[in-house]
Structure 1
Amino acid sequence: MKTWFWICWFLILKCVCAEQRSYRIIIEDIRVRIFDTETVDKFGCQVKQINNRSYVYCQVLLNFDVAQVFVRTTLDLTRPNNGQPMKIYDARLNGCLFVESVHKNRVFNIYAKRIKQFSNFKCPLKAHYNYTLDKLYLDEKELPSFVPIGKYRAQNEFYLNQSFIIVRLTSYAKVISTP
């Protein structure tokens, strides 16, 4: 009886882990606006669609050393049948601690893990050093089994202090259902 229990338990876990998601995330565009050209020399991002997956590539070059970066991040969802944007979250956080911390918010944890895995961002940020984000993608298997279908807009504003914005990064994505 004990053996059957473990066999059944193993099969259940295998099925749960292998569950395919019924949606796909497509990152459509990333727009960068630099407000402080004295501090930021270059900040550019591109999105490439390869094998039904969206990959993000970013490059950042600073003119000065930056000890602390603060971030205001928002995520809005526009459902196809509604047209009204709905705020998913609006948070302010220390950008230097973000990648190194464990977050209560599951989306933040996934994003921080991916940035750490695919980039060389580490504070303090050095001047004239090419920071890159190479082939960042969101794996649907790490997200909940249900994600609302619709268009998403994520906006990240980077600050040198609590009020002086240096860069705004706006990402546009959509979640579509898959058969």
Structure 2
Amino acid sequence: MKALATYALFWIILFNNHICLKSEEHNFRIKLDEFSVKYKLRDLIDNIDFRIVHLNNRSYVNGEMMLKSDVKDILMHTAMDFWKSSNKKKLKLYDGRLDACQFLRTAHRNGMFNIYVKSFRKHTNANLACPLKMNYSYTLRNWHMDEKDLPPFVPFGTFRTITEYFTQERLALRIVTQGKVIANK
């Protein structure tokens, strides 16, 4: 669920800034190099463990999280940098704050967000809605970016996201994701 907003925003920004060009086939794939989750509220989070698995030329994220209490409000601060392979110049794609619960309620209204919500629903055991429930094992299995769901061309390069989740004005989670858009061989 946490990666959902990060990746959705990444692709929305790419499309809105007209970085993508039209092509007839998907000549790229998404490779994740890092997906690290650090939790700060030991009184809120009972267990959390997410890992990347590389299998059959694809990156998958697997993991689980269990909370010690219900979470009714989640604010998110997320930022993403992208370095195009062609010039290595750093682009700040976004840096914003939003209500994560509202995002989950309204994602279906936007075509791009809907792609990510559907993707996560295929790979999670949870209803992606607030409040998050205590003593429930939120599990993500074999989640990956399916390039078929994205426009035919995305520029090659490297990306890094830093996403922080707050509840009751306290930092709960920090997720760092690094990866690449590379040629599909």
Report if TM-score (shorter chain) is over 0.5. yes
CA distance in 2, matches of 1:104, 1:92: 18
Q: Which residue of 2 aligns with 1:29?
A: 34
TM-score (norm 2): 0.76
CA distance in 1, matches of 2:87, 2:38: 29
Q: What secondary structure, in the 3-state scheme, does the structure 2 residue paired with 1:171 have?
A: strand
8 Å contact 1:99–1:113 — kept in the other structure? no
8 Å contact 2:66–2:136 — kept in the other structure? yes
Name stretches of at least 5 consecutive residues in structure 1 with no aligned partner: 1-18
Match of 2:148 among 141, 149, 154: 141
CA distance in 2, matches of 1:111, 1:133: 13
CA distance in 2, matches of 1:143, 1:98: 20
Q: What secondary structure, in the 3-state scheme, does the structure 2 residue paired with 1:44 have?
A: strand
8 Å contact 2:105–2:129 — kept in the other structure? no
Deviation at 1:103, TM superposition (A): 5.1
TM-score (norm 1): 0.78
Q: Which residue of 2 aligns with 1:171?
A: 177
Instruction: After superposition, give the CA deviation of every residue in 1:115-159 in whole Å (9 maximum; x if it has no partner).
Output: 233221432112121111111111111111221111111222111
Q: Which residue of 2 aligns with 1:91?
A: 96
Q: Which residue of 2 aligns with 1:128?
A: 135
Deviation at 1:178, TM superposition (A): 2.8
Q: Which residue of 1 aligns with 2:158?
A: 151
Q: Which residue of 1 aligns with 2:6?
A: none
Report the RMSD for the aligned CA atoms in angstroms. 2.0
Structure with the greater alpha carbon radius of gyration = 1
8 Å contact 1:75–1:153 — kept in the other structure? yes
Deviation at 1:90, TM superposition (A): 2.5
Name stretches of at least 5 consecutive residues in structure 2 with no aligned partner: 1-23
CA distance in 1, matches of 2:176, 2:46: 18
Q: Which residue of 2 aligns with 1:15?
A: none
Q: Which residue of 1 aligns with 2:49?
A: 44
CA distance in 2, matches of 1:91, 1:117: 27
Q: Which residue of 2 aligns with 1:16?
A: none
Deviation at 1:165, TM superposition (A): 1.3
Number of corresponding residues: 159
